[in-house]
Amino acid sequence: MATYLYRLGRFAFRQRRWVVFVWLALLAAGIAGAATLSGPTANGFSIPGTESQRAVDLLEKRFPQAGADAATARIVFQAPQGAQLSSPDNSALVKSTLGRIQSAPQVAAVADPFAAKSISADGRTGYAQVAYDVTAQEVTPEAQDAVAAAVEPARAAGLTVEYGGDAMQVQDEQSLAEVIGIGVAAVVLLITFGSLIAAGLPLLSAIVGIGIGATAITAATGFIDIGSGTPILAVMIGLAVSIDYALFIMSRYRHELSSGLEPEEAVGRAVGTAGSAVVFAGLTVVIALAGLFVVDIPFLTQMGFAAAFTVVLAVAIALTLLPALLGMAGRRVLGGRIPGLRGGDPESSNGKPTAGRRWAGFVTRRPVAVLLVSVIGLGVLAIPAADLELGLPDDSTAAAGSTQRKAYELLSDGFGPGFNGPLMVVVDVASSADPKAAAASTANVVRALPDVAVVTPPTFNPAGDTALLTVIPVSGPSTTATKDLVQAIRDAPETGGAEVSVTGGTAFNIDISAKLSDALLPYLSLIVGLAFLLLMLVFRSVLVPLKATLGFLLTVAATFGAVVAVFQWGWLAGPFGIEGQTGPIISMLPVFLVGIVFGLAMDYQVFLVTRMREEHVRGAAARTAVVDGFSHSARVVTAAAVIMVAVFSGFILSSETLVREIGFGLAFAVAIDAFVVRMTIVPAVMALLGRSAWWLPRWLDRLLPDVDVEGERLRRQIEPAVPEPREPELASR
């Protein structure tokens, strides 16, 4: 592989104007497509194969009037202390408010709380259900503003009026996350290279790649339904890996130039060696992301493929556009030094022991002690993960003080926690001899179950073959008792030929958590198995991939512990801007985080251990290979990790809960994996294993193709044909 990439790098160098033109043309086409072809993104999701989804599909077919997938809102009224909501003045305020809401855009129906008897036992609190004729993602800001304006007169008259529901969810606004990430990346690159030109080229190539990826995904929204979080997450992953991949090739290029090679030859060798590591690192990330199809949840598959697409672009950009830009810059990447910054060749020690060499020496001299301290520390960080609770975001996790949060709390106080998580029970009586009796009998069976507060009378569709019950649990939406109730309703014996299914937001939450839990093991088996084979191919070792996988498990456990501590327990909630918004972790976060973290963890594994193997292949002793390989790559890997942490941290500012939790989880995971697992545990284990780290059975060695990721075969092929390198001093004249 190194030979092919060497030729590709030299081709891009020689044909630099055409290569740059092609990439800029793709960017222009993407921008044009995004501007003319894009459509709205979707906030909803489906879960094929679950009972909740089957019930919704049945309602859409037989009972579209029920609006199973339509947006809803709840308007909660509360009279002042000592007053009743049913008093003439207060009831008039309620009815006039609901009249204004009835005339608001996209509203289909408004229920009168007095007629529906949705008044609390003390008479102070009541709520009105508002049904819309569109889905939640189609509710316009104008429709939301109309509701906000409609409640103001009642508030001014002394009533407490709050509203919530999926129709009132705040649309995610574009944050400055990308700008923050690029800004920090620029600073780190300047410190690493000490040159504006050397720092600018990786950023420029990354921006072009992300621009193409983001605009292509945006243009695709005009043809397929794409979730609102998909473009954000694709940009998050793509931006981080784009800068990192370009950084590694740029670093190797400057190293080859500093050794006296001509620019074209230096580009070829940089792409042939560091580029090989980039290809295999990118493949592990793509495998982890594309493998999300195993979960069989469309929006997760969509996120995975979109992010994988940006990673493929990042690899292609690093192997072609960056060499072309280096061809335009030539030796100027060694110039333009910034006073006060070290710059120079980040892989060279200039005759002095670097911090990386000193650290590697310390770790390899005391491998057992370092290993024990690191593993115990990660174990302590992982302790909160034992308390992991999964759920979907609702108004209970809205910002403290928001009207959505206040409405949730008013309903819980006035009616009980279960009123915030009603269950929709669908009764299919098409095969029943007496549909009404069967539906009534089903209602009685459900009413007799534990933890049931209210069961509404059956509501039939015009054909009379489907009935709908609303069941209000005693317990809150995220409790074990409500989960048990859903299962009890589903397990209840059929009466009179009726088939019963449960759906609604709470049931969807339960079903998606169960499906994700069932899919986690097959997903892990797929990505770990494929990546293990890939790493075995790269390193020609059995123990190195095994060590890499075990290190990944430590990273994931510690990351889940940190996510639980911050987002569920509320530790450091203030600094992270989530004070008062703690609750269960988003259901899809574990599987999504596992996939991305695995891919990114293997990035640093490939970059660090490839240099160690390169030294080993060239004849260095086991411990010397570890120290030398580490010292060559430590500074660049440190810069790459800091950049990636900065990019992911910027997304903690997002108002979308899933994006915010993934941003924090990835930033923490990269920091732990890069600095504790890969830069501490890996050299310690490699020192303990010695030469056996590179053990591979002979029969397997014969079966595996030699991909030459360390570039040794390439070096033997090209060095005789390459003129003697000039001294750096003469080359710079």
Provide the β-strand partners of residue 129: 74
Least confident of 173-182, 494-503, 609-618: 173-182
Q: Is the pLDDT of residue 356 over 90?
A: no
Cα 164–Cα 231–Cα 107 angle in degrees, nearest 5: 30
CA distance 304 to 298: 10
Greater confidence (392 vs 125) lies with: 125
Coil, strand or helix at 259:
coil
Among the ranges 308-312, 457-461, 586-590, which has the highest mean pLDDT value?
308-312
Q: Is the pLDDT of residue 346 over 70?
A: no
Least confident of 307-316, 394-403, 541-550, 613-622: 394-403
Q: What letter represents residue 75's amino acid? A: I
Structure tokens at 517: 């839990």
Q: DSSP string of 15-79?
A: THHHHHHHHHHHHHHHHHHHHHH----B-----TTSHHHHHHHHHHHH-GGG-TTS-EEEEEEEP
CA distance 409 to 391: 18
Judge whether 654 and 235 are in contact, CB under 8 Å.
no
The 10s digit of each residue's pLDDT in 409-423 is 888 888 888 888 889
Q: Which helix (H) or strand (E) holds 304?
A: helix 298-316
Confidence class for position 198, pLDDT limits 50, 70, 90: confident
Bridge pairing between strands 499-503 and 459-460: unpaired
Report CA 731 to chain centroid distance, whole Å: 46
The 10s digit of each residue's pLDDT in 94-152 is 999 999 999 999 888 888 888 878 888 889 999 888 888 887 777 888 988 999 999 99
CA-wise closest residue to 310 among 212, 181, 213, 202: 213
Q: How far is CA 464 from CA 259, 338, 436, 467, 489, in A?
A: 83, 79, 8, 7, 22
CA distance 378 to 171: 37
Judge whether 601 and 553 are in contact, CB under 8 Å.
no
Mean pLDDT, rounded, for 532-539: 82
Q: Where are the alpha helices (DSSP H) in 319-398?
A: 322-329, 355-365, 367-382
CA distance 114 to 460: 22
Among the ranges 75-89, 289-303, 577-591, 641-655, which has the highest mean pLDDT value?
75-89
Q: Is the pLDDT of residue 729 over 50?
A: no
Q: What is the DSSP letter of 199?
A: H
The 10s digit of each residue's pLDDT in 465-516 is 898 898 989 888 878 888 899 999 998 887 878 889 998 888 888 888 888 8
Judge whether 663 and 175 are in contact, CB under 8 Å.
no
Please say whether the dihedral angle defined by the alpha carbons of residues 298, 301, 307 and 309, taken in this order, is positive or negative: negative
CA distance 17 to 290: 33
Q: What is the DSSP letter of 365?
A: H
Q: What letter represents residue 390's amino acid? A: L
CA distance 630 to 612: 7
Q: What letter represents residue 25's amino acid? A: A
Q: What percent of the chain is modeled with pLDDT above 70?
A: 88
Mean pLDDT, rounded, for 63-70: 71
pTM of the model: 0.77
Judge whether 393 and 381 are in contact, CB under 8 Å.
no
CA-wise closest residue to 562 among 671, 489, 445: 671
CA distance 549 to 336: 42
Q: Which residue has the tokens 């740059």?
A: 20
Mean pLDDT, rounded, for 688-715: 78
Mean pLDDT, rounded, for 251-257: 85
Average per-residue pLDDT for the chain: 83
